[in-house]
Structure 1
Amino acid sequence: MKYSYQKALSCFFLFYFLLSQCQISNATAEHYRGGASSIAFATVGRPRYAFDIYSLRISDPSKELRLTDGNSINFNGYFASVSSALPFLKNYSLPSVNLVYVTERNGSTSIYLDAVHFSPSLRVQPRSLLGVSTQFNRVQIPLVGDDKFNGLVSMKDRPSLVGQSLVYVSTHENPGKPRASWSAVYSTQLTTGSTLRLTPKGVADFSPAVSPSGAWTAVASYGEEGWHGDIQELGTDIYVVSTLDGSNRIKVIEHGGWPSWADDSTLYFHRRCDDGWWGVFKAVLTVENGRFHSKSTVAERVTPRGLHAFTPAASVANKNFIAVATRRPGSQYRHIELFDVVLSEFIELTRTISPNAHHYNPFISPDSALVGYHKCRGTTSGGRTNELHVESVNSPLPNISLFRIGGSFPSFSPDGLRIAYVKSPGVYVMNSDGSGARMVSSRSAFSTAWDWKRKGVVYTSVGPTFASETSKVDIISINVDDDDLSYKTLTIGGENNAFPSASPDGKWVVFRSGRSGHKNLYIMDALDGEKGALHRLTEGPWSDTMCNWSPDGDWIAFASDREDAGSGSFELFKIHPNGTGLQKLIQSGSGGRTNHPWFSPDGKYIALTSDYAGVSSEPISNPHQFQPYGDLFVIKSDGSGIRRLTHNSYEDGTPTWGLKASVVANVELSDSESLCSFEDCRWLSISTTKSLGSSNRQCAEI
């Protein structure tokens, strides 16, 4: 039968999808039994990424070609060989490019295979394959994602297609240890759905790269000692394992990341040196009797000092050059360049065609004719940006709507129909479906909370963020339903008063204040503020902050560094409004951060943001994030039963929990801010020391 292969594969995927959904639903139903509701949250910079994958022909890099379809965020590409892609493309003309990549469409991450034809004419008309529509000159196939293979979810780092198996990173398994990364390398056999974990338990692996023969996979890894909070370089070593089953695992390079194979015994990788520059290194591995050995491997620094070079991509067909991302002095942007390893010379690629854009994570086609990378696309040919102000996100919890907004500190109105949020420099209110957004205050603000009893009253903090105890920050109330938008200042003196949360009876507001010289919690009159009444709730030489009042009025949850004051490490606590019953809820390991608690509408659960799951990818491979380890979690109100909601390398934060399950359609940005307005890693500084430090001989040039 002409399409028997595709039909059989489609039937298998459908069966496996239904089976996995049953398994997921049963598991989550045991965790959360509340009524229908919504969690909204913010992600730093994420609404403006809008990444697509592009390529340049190395022999003539004057014309840039966009390879992905402009839908959502597409990144971390890989050119698959014809032999690997062919089983999925029967009855189709051979494409110009087989592109495997990560995509975040439909509210979760997936890995797709796109067969892209450069010519607009096809020898056969493209058809739907595995239930996915084709468009223009591409055939698009989902390989693995949140809706397949038992819900494997993650920021899927650097996928590779090897035969009919996909090698990738997923974060779906909880290692059971706070602040330990969930990132591990897996191999999924796509025709059977059989998935094998290649990473040992208790270990975190990143940035997998499969050798040209397919026999070996190199990973950047750290072991059981865990993650120490680094957001610059993770301090990984490079290991090699058998791609077949993860066996024969051996450390081949100490201190390195982002491995890339030139052949089955030669690796390129990056590391940050004591001289301050990121450099690319080459290592020839020791192989005896077909196996790697732990003998000392000599690594040679190939890129010079004086610029940053990282995320290398080796060329298998042409050993004379590699592709790297660079950040040069005098430039605000990272660009893709070729580096001739024989002549030690750079060849610029992207700067000449798009000088004012960041370009990420190059990869080279099997014939070394093309170099690919991803960057922010700006507007599409039709004028649309696909950059979203409100984005629906797949929720792992039943009855819970989960969505991201293009602002921060959202809060739902008591009836669940509106959301207040902060978007620099002011406070806004919109309908819970993302429509009708309007500014209600133009003052610099952070945090929002609605009054439970007085309709239309929103509390916020006005003043500088991340400021000292003596900074002038006040709490105000805004009646957003008044035609003239009346404002009322509730605090006196301006000693960093912030994070208001109203009591369910509408009589009181809890907030944090630095008036004593330390940030502690206070309760004041909701209508008249401090002038009406003021009570101190907590006292001590530490910071208690980010408070939220439970719907039944019995508890106030808050974040505090009281167990290690001044360290920047925060845990969650709860306390009765009368100051009794202090309980510690959850801690994210030694030195960890757990913040922004918010009670569920029934008061039985708490949403929060935390670094509990460590990091999901090498930070240098992504745009700037203050906390690339920040994900959303839900716990029971007694601190037990932690459940992860988001899996990515962004800073997800400031969650809020609303009364109703909102039906949210994606809403595009409509403001006049410049597109793609996000930063490169701030710590990727051009300021470096002049000489190589004597303590790190690994970075010495040979």
Structure 2
Amino acid sequence: MGENRGSIAFFTTYRPPVPLDIFSCPVQPSSEKDELHLTDGKSYNYNCRVIPPAALKTILKRPKLASEATEADVDLGRLTGLIFVSERANNLETLHIALCFGANPHQVKVFSLADIYGTDAFNGVRMEDSGCIGGGYEVGSHTIDHSLVYVSTKEPVQERRCPWTVVYKTNLRTGETERLTPPGTFDLSPSVSPSGKKIAVASFQGKAWDGEIEDLQTDIYVMNVERSPSGLGRRRVIVNGGWPTWGSENVLFFHRKEYYGTKQDDSTAWRVFRFDISTDELIPVTPKEFDAITPAAINKDKVAVATIHKKSKFTDVRVEAQYRHIEIFDTTAPGASVQITQKIRPKADHFNPFVIDGGKCIGYHRSDMSPSQNISNMERYFHKIQSPFQDTGLFRVSGVFPTISKDGSKLAFVDNEFKAVWLADKKGLRIVYEKEGPDSIHSPVWNQNPDKDILYVCMGVPFKADQPLQICAIPDVSSENGQRRRLTKGRFNNAFPSTDRDGERLVFRSIREKDKRYKNLYIMEKADVGEYGGKIKRLTNGPWTDTHCQWSPTGDWVVFSSTRDKPEDAPETDNGLDPGYFAVFLVNVNDPSVVVRVIRSAYHIAGHVNHPVFSPDGRSIAVTADLAAVSADPMSLPLFLHSVRPYGDVFTVDIDPEDINKNKDVKKFHRITHSRYENGTPTWTLFSTDVLIKSMDSHTTMDFNISCP
């Protein structure tokens, strides 16, 4: 059947344009020559932990690996193992095992869990994370099998605004897999105690995710690796904590955000704490003068953490103190730390440390900026990703607000600085329009008549409702003439244009009321000239925000995102950003009184379902939404500091293209992407991913400079 419903493209926030890879260095490095590259350098690799020798011997007995090495190789130190996340398999974020042969330099062979343990437990579209090893301890005369403990999003959850993150364990000898997280509960960041007997997790148990973007305020629970007749003995040990790591059988380190004051602008700091389960003693490990996150315990007193000594803004040219670095803190020597990565690469970010050889070395991941990473030889500027549906393709674009022409021959987007419009077509990849400074241009979209070769853009400061924002047309964009034609008059805030199928009319959202900030939809009767020779007709009218609009393939409806059902007593902002309460609606263009709500984030309406787009056949709508909450601790990610709200993942809902009223409050939705990052601004083209790659890739390489977050 193939991808006969076309393919969905989207942009990912937080994901660095330069691949992440895994490295280590001794605790007292002298220069960057002391740094060791731990993987094979293929794809993005991160969130690594060492596989203990005894567990590695068990893994080597699997048929896939039996010919690769022997137990003697492990005993003699010729072979070590790593478990980490890699995006090399269908561009999914899944766990892989690396066999590392020799010393420095060493040879590496990487295998997916599906390679080793089959596809019964490791298949389908999913995200995996936080692999660690449990078991291996004695109970009487019996040795408990080693097991891999990890997070996966493989089980669908129909409850809205709810995480899909569940902790599982897979027996390394038999391959049998068991869910450890209780039904209806969701966990993050598992860590196994030194004995292999206990697991600590950051959990949403007993609470709902309420739109938190950075500070999840999870609680830390402890449970047994092995299930007894009475269960796993799961219990809460810490209120408000994340990223747990064991220093001993009774000592946990974790991170937490502290607030110093009652106002929104008051100072805050992420700090690492030490908690003794046996005595309930809680002490801060890192000072409040800077941020310290993602701890990795070395022993009951020492812990490696990632630190950020000085906060930064998106527009900053960062200094050394604003980069994320790895340091070691010792609770027996308060106030002092051992700096690790500052001595190697002072102006590079280093993430999520892990302990090697009892603390003699510290591992981490960072963007690989080595000379071997020639940017023209990187992944192509769009990356095909495994889709949950055979009839619909999926790919990620390395640019913001991707838009594909109706005939599939052209792809346009803007860079991360919102400064330039890029075009990819049979001529290659190039800038077709550029402003002098950042935050000047966004939301490109093609005229749906491919013969017109017109690209519409929004010019002005994005995401600022009190600033003027104009819709402009770039005619004959493929010719690179650099011209533009302004379509909107006055100093209104206008955005998110979309033409009808003939390319004659254009719908957009605008703030037209004086002294108010309500956003409604309007239609330009002449898309070529806009308000300069054509009339404007109001499509929606009300004290709310209607935005992110797109014309249907038939031309009868417009889909849009709106806060019109927001309760009167709702807070002004949602976690300090926009007002929230976005749902997706359809409006009949010929009878604007007919408005139907298609999907909302949660049944109490709070949340975000945004950027809706129709499938080419009009039978589905793709959105970016927070329906699956978050899939990883946000503080473990590279931060993209901007005013844009991170929405979550891409989802679809099926609709009736004939009767608008049959599309009220669609209950079933489909999760399309599974990511720790933030996927947004989708577009849905008629063409398959293979056709698009073939039509553009022969002349196009990723040789442009997208600014790193």
The residue that corresponds to 2:141 in the other structure is: none
SS in 1 for 2:508: strand
Q: Deviations over 1:161-201 (max 9, x none)?
A: 33552211112223322111111111123554432211112
**1:295-314 alignment to 2 at 5 Å?**
297-314=280-297
The residue that corresponds to 2:48 in the other structure is: 77
The residue that corresponds to 2:423 in the other structure is: 429
The residue that corresponds to 2:627 in the other structure is: 612
The residue that corresponds to 1:325 in the other structure is: 306
Answering whether residue 601 of structure 2 is matched by residue 630 of structure 1, we say no
- Normalised by the size of structure 1, how large is the TM-score? 0.83
| Cα offset, 1:672, TM superposition | 4.0
The residue that corresponds to 1:175 in the other structure is: 157
Amino acid at match of 2:13: V
For residues 382 and 233 of structure 1, the distance between their equivalents in structure 2, rounded to whole angstroms, comes to 34
Residue correspondences, number: 618
Amino acid at match of 2:168: Y
User: Which residue of the other structure, out of 35, 40, 53, is the alignment partner of 1:64?
Assistant: 35
The residue that corresponds to 1:521 in the other structure is: 521
| Cα offset, 1:662, TM superposition | 2.5
Contact conserved, 2:258 with 2:269, CA < 8 A, in 1? yes
**1:12-161 alignment to 2 at 5 Å?**
35-58=4-27, 60=29, 62=31, 63-89=34-60, 90=66, 92=69, 93-94=73-74, 95-105=78-88, 106-119=90-103, 137-144=107-114, 149=121, 151=123, 153-161=125-133
| Cα offset, 1:314, TM superposition | 1.2
User: Which residue of the other structure, out of 409, 426, 447, is the alignment partner of 2:443?
Assistant: 447
| Cα offset, 1:155, TM superposition | 4.0
The residue that corresponds to 1:645 in the other structure is: 672
For residues 453 and 152 of structure 1, the distance between their equivalents in structure 2, rounded to whole angstroms, comes to 37
From the superposition, tell whether residues 627 and 364 of structure 1 become closer, same or farther in structure 2 (CA, over 3 Å): farther
Amino acid at match of 1:211: S
| Cα offset, 1:596, TM superposition | 0.6
| Cα offset, 1:61, TM superposition | 5.9
**Structure 1: where are the runs of 5+ without partners?**
1-28, 122-135, 287-295, 679-702
For residues 439 and 305 of structure 1, the distance between their equivalents in structure 2, rounded to whole angstroms, comes to 45
The residue that corresponds to 2:233 in the other structure is: 248
For residues 302 and 113 of structure 1, the distance between their equivalents in structure 2, rounded to whole angstroms, comes to 32
For residues 528 and 366 of structure 2, the distance between their equivalents in structure 1, rounded to whole angstroms, comes to 50
The residue that corresponds to 1:693 in the other structure is: none
Contact conserved, 1:208 with 1:218, CA < 8 A, in 2? yes
| Cα offset, 1:339, TM superposition | 1.3
Q: Deviations over 1:97-156 (max 9, x none)?
A: 3211111123112211112234369xxxxxxxxxxxxxx712322125996625255443
Name whichever of 519-528 and 452-461 sits farther off. 452-461
For residues 383 and 203 of structure 1, the distance between their equivalents in structure 2, rounded to whole angstroms, comes to 44
| Cα offset, 1:60, TM superposition | 5.0
| Cα offset, 1:311, TM superposition | 1.5
Amino acid at match of 1:574: L
Answering whether residue 688 of structure 2 is matched by residue 670 of structure 1, we say no
Contact conserved, 2:125 with 2:388, CA < 8 A, in 1? no
Q: Deviations over 1:233-283 (max 9, x none)?
A: 111111011222472111111221111112222211121223423222222
Name whichever of 665-674 and 254-263 sits farther off. 665-674
The residue that corresponds to 2:456 in the other structure is: 459
For residues 662 and 426 of structure 1, the distance between their equivalents in structure 2, rounded to whole angstroms, comes to 25
Amino acid at match of 2:308: R
User: Which residue of the other structure, out of 218, 243, 246, is the alignment partner of 1:261?
Assistant: 246
The residue that corresponds to 2:369 in the other structure is: 378
The residue that corresponds to 1:545 in the other structure is: 547
| Cα offset, 1:492, TM superposition | 1.7
The residue that corresponds to 2:265 in the other structure is: none
Contact conserved, 2:388 with 2:672, CA < 8 A, in 1? yes
From the superposition, tell whether residues 297 and 648 of structure 1 become closer, same or farther in structure 2 (CA, over 3 Å): same
For residues 430 and 147 of structure 1, the distance between their equivalents in structure 2, rounded to whole angstroms, comes to 37
| Cα offset, 1:452, TM superposition | 2.6
Answering whether residue 502 of structure 2 is matched by residue 498 of structure 1, we say no
SS in 2 for 1:86: helix
Contact conserved, 2:3 with 2:688, CA < 8 A, in 1? no
Contact conserved, 1:152 with 1:171, CA < 8 A, in 2? no
For residues 331 and 478 of structure 2, the distance between their equivalents in structure 1, rounded to whole angstroms, comes to 66
Identity %: 38
Contact conserved, 1:613 with 1:629, CA < 8 A, in 2? no
Amino acid at match of 1:540: G
Answering whether residue 582 of structure 2 is matched by residue 570 of structure 1, we say yes
Amino acid at match of 1:307: F
| Cα offset, 1:442, TM superposition | 1.7
User: Which residue of the other structure, out of 272, 276, 287, is the alignment partner of 1:284?
Assistant: 276
SS in 1 for 2:129: coil
Amino acid at match of 2:378: N
Contact conserved, 2:303 with 2:328, CA < 8 A, in 1? yes
Q: Deviations over 1:628-653 (max 9, x none)?
A: 55211111133343111111122211
The residue that corresponds to 1:696 in the other structure is: none
For residues 199 and 86 of structure 1, the distance between their equivalents in structure 2, rounded to whole angstroms, comes to 27
For residues 3 and 618 of structure 2, the distance between their equivalents in structure 1, rounded to whole angstroms, comes to 9
Amino acid at match of 1:453: N
Q: Deviations over 1:542-563 (max 9, x none)?
A: 1111101110112100011112
Answering whether residue 601 of structure 2 is matched by residue 588 of structure 1, we say yes
Amino acid at match of 1:35: N
From the superposition, tell whether residues 96 and 353 of structure 1 become closer, same or farther in structure 2 (CA, over 3 Å): farther
Amino acid at match of 2:472: I
For residues 270 and 454 of structure 1, the distance between their equivalents in structure 2, rounded to whole angstroms, comes to 53
User: Which residue of the other structure, out of 371, 384, 396, is the alignment partner of 1:392?
Assistant: 384
For residues 271 and 449 of structure 2, the distance between their equivalents in structure 1, rounded to whole angstroms, comes to 59
For residues 492 and 523 of structure 1, the distance between their equivalents in structure 2, rounded to whole angstroms, comes to 14
Contact conserved, 2:247 with 2:301, CA < 8 A, in 1? no
Answering whether residue 196 of structure 2 is matched by residue 202 of structure 1, we say no
- Normalised by the size of structure 2, how large is the TM-score? 0.82
The residue that corresponds to 1:351 in the other structure is: 342
Amino acid at match of 1:74: N
Amino acid at match of 2:540: T
| Cα offset, 1:568, TM superposition | 3.0
SS in 2 for 1:337: strand
Name whichever of 453-462 and 507-516 sits farther off. 453-462
From the superposition, tell whether residues 257 and 668 of structure 1 become closer, same or farther in structure 2 (CA, over 3 Å): farther
The residue that corresponds to 1:13 in the other structure is: none
For residues 526 and 632 of structure 1, the distance between their equivalents in structure 2, rounded to whole angstroms, comes to 29
| Cα offset, 1:470, TM superposition | 5.3
SS in 1 for 2:359: coil
CA RMSD of aligned residues (A): 2.6
SS in 1 for 2:341: coil
